[in-house]
Structures are given as C-alpha cells and as structure tokens.
Amino acid sequence: MSEFQGSGFSIELPENCIDASSYTFVLEQHNGFSANLTIRFQLPTEGFSVSSFVDEQVSSLRTSLDSFALIHQANGKRGEIEGAMFVYEWGQGSGRFKQKQVVMLSNLEPARVYIMTSTDLAINADVSDPVFEQMMRSFAPNDTQLW
C-alpha cells in the first residue's frame, strides 16, 4: 500500500491502483454562472494520436450539443509535449456556453493524456478567457506522486 496525498486528504492505496482523478477549479460567479476549469487525465491507448483524439471529440460534440459552433482548432507543441486545442460554443441565448479544450500528451512515465476544459457563459468570455488562458499556460505535467 502507498499513501496518496490529495487536496486536504490522504488515502492508502494498493500498488495496482491507478489515479483517474478529475480536478475542477471554480471562478467567481458572473451573470449567475460560476466559470470553471476541469482537468482530467487518462492513460493513452496504443497508437494514441492527439490530433485524432481531438477530431473525435469535435465530431462527438458536434452531434450531441445544440447549436454547436467550432470557433478555432489548432495542433502544436509546448516544448516536448504534443498538444492540441479547440474552442467552441453551444446552446441558445443567454444560456449559450463557450468552452475551450486543451489536450496534451505528457512525455512522462507512465504517459498521460491531460484534458483541460474551461467552461463559461459566452456572455462572460471577456472576463473569464484571460483568466483561463493564464491558468492553462501555467499547467505543467510533472512526476510528483504520478500514479
């Protein structure tokens, strides 16, 4: 058993346990909605491709979200880390949402696919977009307590 240290807790876990946590960070409320940034990760499958993963995500969202509109999509690298991002909106009127997803494939062992998703009302984007941009730029995979 190994001890895992989370935010405000610890837990003993067996050696074959995998951390599949999702982390959600919530910003101050504007126009009745609290913008948030969710970070989740998964183990890559054999032959995993960031660009193919993003294309599949966009296709799935296009068919499942009302009034989906892809605003921007790009592939690239940050140092040695392969990544991609896409920005989209969905919904109607004052309930229209704007989301940005950043997907990164870490070069750590074991490798992880990190998926960051920012969510806010589209009418709040002028306030939250710069905050999310700063948060996402500061994201750095590391091997501290990597399960």
Residue 115: alpha-carbon gap to chain centroid: 3
Structure tokens at 35: 């913008």
pLDDT at position 145 is 64
Q: Are 30 and 124 in contact (CB under 8 A)?
A: yes
pLDDT recorded at residue 98: 98
How much is the pLDDT for 92?
A: 97
CA dihedral 115→88→62→30, nearest 10 degrees, is 90
Range 19-138 has CATH code 3.40.1000.10: yes
d(CA 102, CA 87): 9
- pLDDT averaged over consecutive 10-residue blocks of the chain (147 residues)? 87 86 95 97 93 97 97 92 96 97 91 95 97 95 72
**Partners of 38 in beta bridges:** 24, 117
DSSP 146: -
Helix (H, G, I), strand (E, B) or coil at 139: coil
